[in-house]
Amino acid sequence: MADNDSTIQSGHPSMGAARGEAIAIQGVSKRFGSIVGVDSVDLHIEAGEFLSLLGPSGSGKTTLLMMIAGFETPSAGSITLGGRDLTHVQPNKRGIGMVFQRYALFPHMSVAQNVAFPLKMRGANKAEIAHLVDQALSRVRLQNYGGRMPAQLSGGQQQRVAVARALVFQPPVLLMDEPLGALDKKLREELQIEIKTLHESLGVTIIYVTHDQEEALTMSDRIAVMDKGRIQQLGSPVSLYHQPSSSFVADFIGKMNFLNGVVVGMDDRRIEVAVSGQTFDVARSQISGREDVAVGRSVRVAVRPESLSRTEEAERAIAGEIETSIFLGSHRTLIVRTEDGAQLQVQIPSSQQDSDVPRRGRTFVRLDPAAVRVFAGEAA
């Protein structure tokens, strides 16, 4: 469907001309009695950015999203959209699109009527509604489904309708609260790519709430990792994966192994760490934590499964016992118990001959010192 530069009567541009706006969140807090849901959050979201709020249940991510949408009022702080203060503006006056996990479609309306609903509320004429609904359904690959009822659609199709309805009036910002959580894994992964492609086509600003770290890594320009009402780290998927600022972030983004270590030597550029009877050097740029490192201090060492390798040689390797072996298609994961009781996940490429990988028994694990993160003051 070709782009169209017309506007509906409320002044919103057509879908083809979609462009996002920046959001500024300054000192925003939300209290529920004595409980702090969101605690003094500062966050600037660029126009057209795809930003995910990622964190465990109760971390404050959905509460922050609801304050941006207007369904919750901040206890303190301000929220602006394109320079316009939204802090106390009612939800239906904000011009923001919203997609929920449970679709929230009107069961008594057809697909086309569901998508048309925001346009009717904004006073668009019939011809324009028909054009924009057709355009919106084409965007989500449902152009021939306008006459169907929601009950006649699959879960994935219903979620596409919800996205079309949220975008049809051309909002500058689209808020998505766990929108794929009710779908099976394969369909969820397909829709992740579709939403990301749609975002790149339209340029709308998207704020996406999820507890699924793989989903956030797949879709986001930046990720804000939240815990206890605060943003623990903000950055690109690559920087969060490779340079987590804390063991919490390291553990929440991807799979991570943790080992307790002790600093046994150091100079201006590097430190020497002893782990499970082995020592290795780490650059100071690989160190994060709550306190300075010093010889004799305990540290927590984090290393990804793909940065570990199995070896038959004991030299400069950690000894352990293979407890189980798990085949996962692209790779095999060995669960190894070290002699001091730590459990390691070691990722072996599927290209390696299956007969070369023992299922159980004694083995040695070698880590890549350049790929570890060391957290000072966080030893378990």
Question: 257 with 302: CB under 8 angstroms?
Answer: yes
Please name which of 338, 337, 310 lies closest in space to residue 324, comparing C-alpha atoms: 337
- Residue-level pLDDT at 11: 37
Better-scored residue on pLDDT, 353 or 266:
266
Please name which of 152, 150, 209 lies closest in space to residue 180, comparing C-alpha atoms: 209
Kindly state the average pLDDT of the residues 276-286: 90
Question: How distant is the alpha carbon of residue 339 from its chain centre?
Answer: 35
Extract the tokens encoding 342. 């730590």
Supply φ then ψ for residue 130, to 5 degrees: -60, -45
Task: Give 307's contacts (C-beta < 8 A, 6+ positions apart).
Answer: 367, 368, 371, 372
Q: Which fold has domain 15-247?
A: Rossmann fold (3.40.50)
Question: 323 with 241: CB under 8 angstroms?
Answer: no
Grade residue 155 by pLDDT with cuts at 50, 70 and 90.
confident
What residue spans define the domains of the chain?
15-247, 255-376
- Residue-level pLDDT at 225: 97
- Residue-level pLDDT at 258: 94
Coil, strand or helix at 300: strand
> Is residue 266 pLDDT above 50, yes or no?
yes
Question: 171 with 95: CB under 8 angstroms?
Answer: yes
> Is residue 264 pLDDT above 80, yes or no?
yes
Dmax (CA) for the chain in angstroms is 77
Kindly state the average pLDDT of the residues 313-341: 89
The CATH number of the structural domain formed by 255-376 is 2.40.50.140
> Is residue 100 pLDDT above 90, yes or no?
no
> Is residue 94 pLDDT above 50, yes or no?
yes
What is the pTM assigned to this prediction?
Answer: 0.87
> Is residue 17 pLDDT above 50, yes or no?
no
- State the residue for tokens 């019939």: 126
Better-scored residue on pLDDT, 124 or 32:
32
Extract the tokens encoding 34. 């004595």
- Residue-level pLDDT at 237: 96
Grade residue 14 by pLDDT with cuts at 50, 70 and 90.
very low
> Is residue 10 pLDDT above 70, yes or no?
no
